[in-house]
Structure 1
Amino acid sequence: MTDPAHHSFIEDAQGLGFGVFMAAVAVHILTFMGFVAGQSAGVAALLSYATGYSFSQIYVVISLPFIALAYFRMGQRFALKTVLSVIGLATATAFLPKLLVFQSIEPATAAVLYGGMIGMATLATVRHGGSFGGISVLWLWIQDRFGFPAGYAQLIFDALLFCVAAFVVAPDKLAWSFLGAVVFNLFLAVNHRRDRYISS
């Protein structure tokens, strides 16, 4: 069992930093390919395609109410780490396209890379007592409160989100996006167990 309260400051810093970096690269792949995703990242990507606002701006706005939930339902420590993770991800996704330039990525490879990397990023962040904000905070609270796996809750939400995305995204991109979402959610469902990771 891994308790975030037992990690040192250095351990938390490197764990959250790793999570933010992995998530930023994953989101960079996502937006480069024009894919969508589940969770708040998917909502932010979809809105950025539709409105022209940056992913970072929309992502921060979407995360605000769930950060409030994190504070009141899961504690100040969890909320603080979530704020740092959200700010870190928003900042990294704003600057990373200037530092890491893609020419082309085969779609299936991009989908699997995105799903695996965002899964590892989420697991690392939760392991160190935080999250990437957004609706994932709600799923983590439900998991800790009722024992319903966060990965399965996300899978249900993602299915509904993809139904909406079908009206905005081209069918081939939607299909590859779905593959990425499946990889991510299965990774989280298998690896994020209540008896291994505690989020508050």
Structure 2
Amino acid sequence: MQFLPQAPTDRHTTLEDLQGIVTGVTMVALSVQFLQAAELITGQIAGLSLVASYPTGLSFGLVFFLLNLPFYVFAILQIGWRFTLRTFLAVALLSALVELMPRAFSLSGVHPGAAAVLAGISAGVGLLVLFRHGATLGGVGILALWLQDRTTLRAGQVQLGFDLVVFTLALFLLPLATVLWSLLGAVILNVIILTNHRRDRYIASS
């Protein structure tokens, strides 16, 4: 018996969306711990925030929160308040969790290869959960979802393309090995999104 995709008529409840946002953000916050333990970076706005935090000593959470602010205007105008508020909540929660997690546990002696793989998987799964509950972590994620809804491009393709630009710029600031290990994590993240975030394979919506 063959099961065909159904129309997206089932919707998440508010409680389901809330637990999805908390779960997704927690997974991404965990990925940041792996990256920081190995002094790696990632793509998108989070990557730019990490790059800025290392030499300046500024808090990742603060830089990440501030860099995302301009993208909210785009989200409000092009996608709507519902999506924007969820994304704002997710970004604020991530900023807080990244600051709080090191007080609960610490990572040390992590090989950069292991950190890249674990960070890529946890962030990819976390973003996938957020996408499926009508939220992102701002920045390029907003543009990626908007383009996927209106063009033939997929969110993973858009994010991976932007990440390649970020890592090219990082070559001028960081050691080659750091950039290459970081790129591995970003590729894993975006392969997870590219493979799993497809509207023809997912029914429930927010």
TM-score range, shorter chain: over 0.9
| Counterpart amino acid of residue 133 in structure 1 | G
Q: Where in structure 1 do 4 or more consecutive aligned residues deviate above 6 Å?
A: none
Alignment of 1:53 onto 2:73: no
Question: Could you say if the C-alpha distance between residues 145 and 30 of structure 1 is closer, same or farther in structure 2, counting changes exceeding 3 Å?
Answer: same
Q: Contact 2:84–2:135 at 8 Å: present in 1 too? A: yes
Distance (Å, rounded) in 2 between the aligned partners of 1:64 and 1:29? 25
- CA distance in 1: counterparts of 2:9 and 2:48, whole angstroms: 29
Matched, 1:93 2:98: yes
Kept in 2, the 8 Å contact 1:23–1:121? The answer is yes
CA shift digits 1:5-54 (9 cap, x unpaired)? 81112211111110011010001111221111111110110111122211
SS in 2 for 1:195: helix
State whether structure 2 residue 141 is matched by structure 1 residue 147.
no
Change (3 A) 1:183 1:81: same
Contact 1:114/1:180, CA 8 A, preserved across alignment:
yes
Q: Which of 184, 190, 198 is equivalent to 1:179?
A: 184
> Could you tell me which of 77, 82, 97 is aligned with 2:87?
82
Could you tell me how far apart the structure 2 residues matched to 1:119 and 1:45 are? 17
Q: TM-score, structure 2 length as denominator? A: 0.91
**In 2, Cα distance between equivalents of 1:151 and 1:46:** 22
1:7 to 1:28, Cα distance in 2 relative to 1, 3 A: same
Q: Does the Cα contact within 8 Å between 1:60 and 1:87 map onto a contact in 2?
A: yes
**Normalised by the size of structure 1, how large is the TM-score?**
0.94
Task: Name the structure 2 match of 1:120.
Answer: 125
Runs of at least 5 residues in structure 1 that lack an aligned partner in the other structure: none
Matches of 1:116 and 1:4, distance apart in 2:
30
What's 1:14 paired with?
19
Aligned partner of 1:110 in structure 2 is: 115
Q: What SS does structure 1 have at the residue aligned with 2:159?
A: helix
Q: Gaps (5+ residues) in structure 2?
A: 1-5
What's the counterpart of residue 129 of structure 1? 134
1:67 aligns with 2:75: no
For residues 21 and 35 of structure 1, the distance between their equivalents in structure 2, rounded to whole angstroms, comes to 19
Q: Aligned residue for 2:199?
A: 194
Deviates more, 1:1-10 or 1:140-149: 1-10
Q: Is the radius of gyration larger for structure 1 or structure 2?
A: 2
| Matched residue SS, 1:174 | helix
- Taking only aligned residues, the RMSD between alpha carbons, in angstroms, comes to 1.9
Contact 1:18 1:124 in 2 (8 A): yes
